[in-house]
Amino acid sequence: MIRQILLGERMTGPPQDSILVIVAHPDDECLGAGGTIRRHVDQGVSVDVLALTGNDTRNREMRAACRLLGVREVYTNTRDDFAVDWSLGKEIVQTILKSRPSAVITHSGDDYNRNHVQCAQLVADAIEWASHTTTFENAYRVNRIYGMEINSLHSQPHVLMDVSESFSTAVSALKEHKSQLTKADAFYLRFYDARTRLRGIQAGCERAEAFTLSLPTHAGPFYTMNAVKTLI
């Protein structure tokens, strides 16, 4: 069962642009999108985070990390690291319907980690079903899906996000995942440093995070809006 933790202020009034980050494990939110999360929060965009697995220690670390990043709401779970499966689909849909984000950030389907790949597949399926008016009275259509990098690099990313100003906060947040930092000679921290420097060189800035971009599929006349009037 997913547990919801409110860290920031819940928005009131008319809907605003927001982002939902859905990850397989606590710490993935920092490794793949820590700088991007903080950058958007600094721009006034609300960001929520859902982790599909976790335990008491890792959930506590993720809440501390997300507090530094300025995350509005954290949805934690109590499941083994490898227990990412289709039984989570309904809970992902419900989180999308609660958060109602303009965009979702999640794992890449090309990641070498099978739990990350499964998460990406679950998210794509949940985004589709959450938008069906035939299934949900409060159906909601996510506009864009961004696939982040963890350990596998995108060969041709669609978006390079300048995180130069938010990088130091992202590193501080990553360091809150103390149970993971000692693994493989501090590989995760060192790789995040190297990867954001590489992407920064490619983007012409100091630090950057890379993403692929995809759009939700369209299966039929089941959505609140089924056609567009222009492509621009």
CATH number of the domain where residue 54 is located:
3.40.50.10320
What is the average pLDDT across 192-207? 98
pLDDT tops 60 at residue 5: no
Q: Tokens at residue 202, please?
A: 């490619």
**In this structure, is residue 107 part of a structural domain?**
yes
Closest to 107 measured CA to CA, from 158, 152, 173: 152
Q: What is the pLDDT of residues 109-118, one digit of tens each?
A: 999 999 999 9
Whole-angstrom Cα distance, residue 163 to residue 189? 16
Percent of the chain with pLDDT over 90: 82
Would you say residue 229 lies in a domain? no
Q: 183 versus 5: which is more confidently predicted?
A: 183
Position 223 in a domain: no
**172 domain residue, yes or no:** yes
Is pLDDT at 28 greater than 60 in this prediction?
yes
Is the confidence at residue 14, as pLDDT, over 50? no
Residue 120 or 151, more confident: 120
Q: Is the pLDDT of residue 62 over 50?
A: yes
Residue 226 lies inside a defined structural domain of this protein: no
Per-residue model confidence (pLDDT) at position 214: 96
205 CB burial (10 A radius; 0-12, 13-18, 19+): middle
Residue 23 lies in a domain: yes
The predicted pLDDT at position 132 comes to 92
Residue 9 clears pLDDT 90, i.e. is over it:
no
Judge whether 209 and 149 are in contact, CB under 8 Å: yes
Task: Write the single-letter amino acid at 16.
Answer: Q
Task: State the sign of the Cα–Cα–Cα–Cα dihedral 198, 202, 204, 210.
Answer: negative
Q: Is 22 helix (H, G, I), strand (E, B) or coil?
A: strand
For the chain, the domain total comes to 1
Residue type, 202: Q
**Residue 230 lies inside a defined structural domain of this protein:** no
Per the structure block, which two tokens stand in for 31?
A: 């490794």
- Mean per-residue pLDDT, 61-79: 97
pTM of the model: 0.92
pLDDT value for 13: 33
Banded pLDDT at 184 (limits 50, 70, 90): confident
User: Could you tell me if residue 153 is inside a domain?
Assistant: yes
124-182 confidence digits (pLDDT tens): 999 999 999 999 999 999 999 999 999 899 999 999 999 999 999 999 999 999 999 88
Instruction: Tell me how far apart the alpha carbons of residues 35 and 162 are, in angstroms, rounded to a whole number.
Output: 8
Per-residue confidence band for 4, with pLDDT thresholds at 50, 70 and 90: low
pLDDT value at 37 more than 90? yes
More confident residue, 164 or 185: 164
Expressed as residue numbers, the domain containing 84 is: 3-7+16-214
Residue 15: per-residue pLDDT: 46
Cα angle: 88, vertex 89, 92; to 5 degrees: 85
DSSP annotation string for 218-232: --SS-SS----S---
